[in-house]
Amino acid sequence: MFLEATRMKLSLNEIPEEGLTLSEKFSPGEMGLQMPGLKFLSPVEVTAAFLKEQDLVVVNVEARGEQELLCGRCLEAVKSPYEGRFDLSYEVKGKFALDVTDDIRQEILLSFPLKPLCKEGCRGLCPACGNNLNHSPCQCKR
């Protein structure tokens, strides 16, 4: 469960004809981005450009931060920059406000690999003794 961040919420009347850009820094905990195998080491910087087209609002989003993932083979922590770009669109006919915060959170989570690797040729762990085969060969009798 995460604290609901609502700083990417705005009244539709606030979006001028030429569009509106909002920039915010979210703490990883505030956005619910801390979980086993994934954590952000820095605030997540989000820039969202809102453009209204009749009854549709298109939002171009860029998100950045420093992340730490666990390798899917050897379980070593891997630090790397996160940069995500995605577009969101909303039917807004009859609506007065728009909150895109949770959709941004979901897009960030969906952008992570199912099985991140520390390096392309990661050898993983020995299935018998658990030795990390990237550091040294295993001495067990498999």
* Nearest by Cα to 63 from 43, 90, 35: 43
* Segments making up each domain of the chain, as ranges: 9-110
**pLDDT for 35:** 82
CB atoms within 10 A of CB 7: 14
Q: What does pTM read for this prediction?
A: 0.81
Give 47: exposed, middle or buried? Use CB within 10 Å, 0-12, 13-18, 19+.
Answer: middle
List pLDDT tens digits, range 79-116.
Answer: 999 999 999 999 999 999 999 999 999 999 998 888 89
Report whether 117 contacts 76 (CB < 8 A). no
DSSP H or E run through 88 = strand 77-91
